[in-house]
Amino acid sequence: MAGLGGRMSTVVKAKVSKLLDRAEDPAETLDYSYQKQVEQLQNVKKGIADVVTAKKRLQMQESTLQQSVVKLDTQARQALAAGQEDLARAALERKNVAQTELQSLDTQVNELEAQQQKLTDSEQKLRAKIEAFRTKKEVIKAQYSAAEAQVRISEAATGVGEQMADVGLAMQRAVDKTENMRARADAVQELEAAGTFDDITQLGSGEDDIDRQLKQLSSQPAVDDELAKMKGELGQGEAAPAPQIAAGEAAKPDEGGAA
């Protein structure tokens, strides 16, 4: 049995036998096992709380990004109304990036939600098994001789031990997923920091890294389409071009394009 099932079974069995090797006296083994099980259950609860925290963090980022999207859209409109198409394009490019990021955040929030649900189900099963074990251990203690009890304990502990190992593996999967998301969450935070333009009139000047990256996307049809649509809404179609004012000049008339 060399497949994945075999490997998992081995892990599970190792955990179970570790649980059982502790004490020679069956009664002691039982009480010790039970105590360990209850401790494990507490750990599972803590793990679920961590997943919930990670999910909330992503949701908060989502709502910040949503605000950015709205703000950038407004800024694009304002820029276009003022005849500054470059500014409008830059704002729409940022909006586009924010929206893409928003979609992937959404996927991740859903994934964490699913993990949370699975862990919660697993925790309930584990709790039920631990409760069954608690009942059974009293029966074993009362009814069986030491030798027999040892066998019965093994049987009972296998069931609960396997469930415990299984919830342990599920926890590990959830943790791995959360780790993967952390890097992305940091990237989103950077985007937020660059975010919307605090003062739209400043945009025409210096180029930052984000601007350069955005320029690479500037040919994206999505941005062009949106710009065209926005122009239409503002009554600035091809037939009626807005007065062409260079962004830098409009933003900083005192510099007069000297740069």
Question: Which spans of this chain sit near another protein (rule: CB under 8 A)?
Answer: 1-9, 12, 16, 118, 122, 124-125, 128-129, 131-133, 136, 155-162, 166, 169-170, 173
* Beta carbon of residue 4, minimum distance to another protein (angstroms, whole number): 4
* DSSP per residue, 14-67: HHHHHHHTT-SSHHHHHHHHHHHHHHHHHHHHHHHHHHHHHHHHHHHHHHHHHH
Closer by beta carbon to another protein, 1 or else 259: 1
Q: Cα(63)–Cα(66) distance, rounded to whole angstroms?
A: 5
Q: Which is nearer to another protein, 121 or 225 (CB)?
A: 121
Q: Which one, 1 or 258, has the nearer CB to another protein?
A: 1
**Which is closer to another protein, CB of 21 or CB of 209?**
21
Of residues 170 and 247, the one with the C-beta less far from another protein: 170
State the nearest-atom distance from the C-beta of 78 to another protein, in Å.
45
The least CB distance from residue 122 to another protein, in Å, is 7
Least gap, CB of 43 to another protein (angstroms): 17
Residue pair 200/75 in contact (Cβ under 8 Å)? The answer is yes
Residue 104 backbone class (left: φ over 0; alpha: ψ -120 to 50; beta: rest):
alpha
Q: How far is the CB of 3 from another protein (least distance, A)?
A: 4
Q: Which is nearer to another protein, 36 or 231 (CB)?
A: 36
CA–CA gap between residue 151 and residue 154 (Å, rounded)? 5
- What is the spatial distance between Cα 215 and Cα 16, in angstroms, rounded to a whole number? 58
20/28 Cα distance (integer angstroms): 10
Q: How far is CA 58 from the centre of its chain?
A: 5
Interatomic CA distance for residues 116 and 103, integer angstroms: 20
**In the structure, how many helices (H) and strands (E) does the chain have?**
7, 0
Q: Smallest distance, Å, CB 143 to another protein?
A: 16
